[in-house]
Structure 1
């Protein structure tokens, strides 16, 4: 994977800033990977979804890596898997950290954290900051009480070059994914459906903080999951079509 990890592109100072289109493309590719794992005949919970485990090929197609902590999901009448708490601080779902009860919704939480990283350019945990600034989820929740002020959280390296409707949809989705109530989080097939419906970059861009985007309804019908861990097709999210399995 010649372009290395998503983590390097987001947080390495010397890295070229990722465009909005590329960030959405990476999010869609990673969501397809989790969707495939969760919907397979024997469900797999990834358990360590984070930016450093998302690798990119020369065209920024995303692929999940490092399955060392992956766990078989619950079977039969089971609602969860009880296991020793493993994973990475800042990405692990709070209910899993507290109880060791593992479900696919734990991966959804982790995905929400990475989606916030893509939107904000901030790390899940930043020990160089203090208080609420340290933890991305808490910081973002405080700033997104009014989603008309979405520009407050967006990565400044984007230079305002992102569709305001798409930014609001993605931020709303991220907040739903990191909900403290696991049952209220969407399933990964719902997450994928929303990401694939994000407005085209040709839509109106936010050029100044005075612009106030409307808040769209984010949820759409869920498509069938794609049995692939690597996306193909156009890098433009609004025109991406379901790829054939490799």
Structure 2
């Protein structure tokens, strides 16, 4: 698994998704128009290709790994994760009016969670693929990127072991909140937001449990799989 090192103070604002690339145009069309109806499936990508009036036979190596079903679905899930992470940059002005780092963390976490709403009924499909052994490292790295962005946008500039600890604790809180959200039927997912706020409060009260990337990876790689398997088993 790739690490980002102590980079928070030098956080670079680079494009998360390159919309000029044809593969991202296809994934974006699939995600925005077809995933809400058909889920994270090859069908959503096929419909996007047709909608863009492209010829599938000319796209064999477009995603770098071919257009096999499992590969394309993984790319579609990763598009969701990167697209929703990129969306956080829209809220900097609003977040800037909040007084504390903790309030900003909660604000960005809420915005990110609510971006799941259009596809939430199919999110179990994405979670099930994320925990496959061949996929886990890639998706954990993207989760790490999300927690890094949220803490940086919220005003944290730490560049020592606290960098690891805070981000990894928030990553765990976010995953727990997403799993809660899958089964949440409250209006506007208010129970999910309350659950997330409680998890962030726990972090603020109890501190951060991890002192290195290796420690977090060992614990959370196992914990994430077990959490998601438990949620999927409950349906």
Interval of TM-score (by shorter of Structure 1 and Structure 2)? 0.3 to 0.5
Question: What TM-score do the two structures reach when normalised by structure 2?
Answer: 0.33
Larger radius of gyration: 2
Q: Could you say which structure has the higher strand fraction?
A: 1
